[in-house]
C-alpha cells in the first residue's frame, strides 16, 4: 500500500497564507467565510470560500463571492509550502489525454525556445 503524504499545515496556517496575500488588502476587503480540507488531494488541499468587497459602505459598493484552492506542495529538497495551483489551458478538439499532453508539451517547447 502506498504511503499517503502527511499534511503539514493546519487551518491557522491556511488563514495566515490567505491573510498574507488577500486579507490585508485595503481594496478589496476580503473575509474568509469557510475553509474546507479536500481529502481527495493526497498532498493536502484546501478550498476557501471568501467574500471580497470593493468600496465598502459607499453607494458603489460591490461584493463578489469567491473560491480559492490552496495546495500543499513540496520543494525538491522535500520542504513543504503552500501555494496556488498552476493552470494549463487544455487544447480544444482532441479526444485522448495523450493527445492533449502532446499538444501541451509542444506549446511549452514553443514558448521556451
Whole-angstrom Cα distance, residue 112 to residue 9? Answer: 34
- Tell which residue, 53, 58, 57, 67, has the closest CA to residue 25: 53
- Assessment of whether the complete model's pTM goes beyond 0.85: no
Q: What order of strands is seen across the sheet that includes strand 62-74?
A: 29-37, 45-54, 62-74, 80-83
Whole-angstrom Cα distance, residue 46 to residue 60? Answer: 32
What pLDDT band is residue 43 in, cutting at 50, 70 and 90?
confident
Q: For residue 4, what pLDDT is reported? A: 58
Whole-angstrom Cα distance, residue 26 to residue 10? Answer: 26
Please count the other Cβ atoms lying within 10 Å of the Cβ belonging to residue 17.
20
Is the model's pLDDT at 1 over the cut of 60? no
Q: Which residue has the higher pLDDT, 71 or 54?
A: 71
Is the model's pLDDT at 76 over the cut of 70? yes
Amino acid at each position: 500500500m502506498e504511503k499517503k503524504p502527511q499534511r503539514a499545515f493546519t487551518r491557522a496556517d491556511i488563514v495566515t497564507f490567505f491573510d498574507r496575500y488577500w486579507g490585508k488588502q485595503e481594496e478589496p476587503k476580503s473575509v474568509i467565510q469557510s475553509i474546507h480540507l479536500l481529502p481527495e488531494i493526497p498532498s493536502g488541499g484546501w478550498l476557501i470560500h471568501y467574500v471580497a468587497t470593493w468600496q465598502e459602505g459607499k453607494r458603489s459598493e460591490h461584493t463578489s463571492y469567491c473560491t480559492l484552492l490552496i495546495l500543499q506542495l513540496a520543494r525538491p529538497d522535500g520542504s513543504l509550502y503552500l501555494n496556488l495551483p498552476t493552470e494549463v489551458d487544455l487544447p480544444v478538439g482532441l479526444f485522448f489525454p495523450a493527445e492533449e499532453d502532446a499538444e501541451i508539451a509542444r506549446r511549452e517547447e514553443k514558448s521556451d525556445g
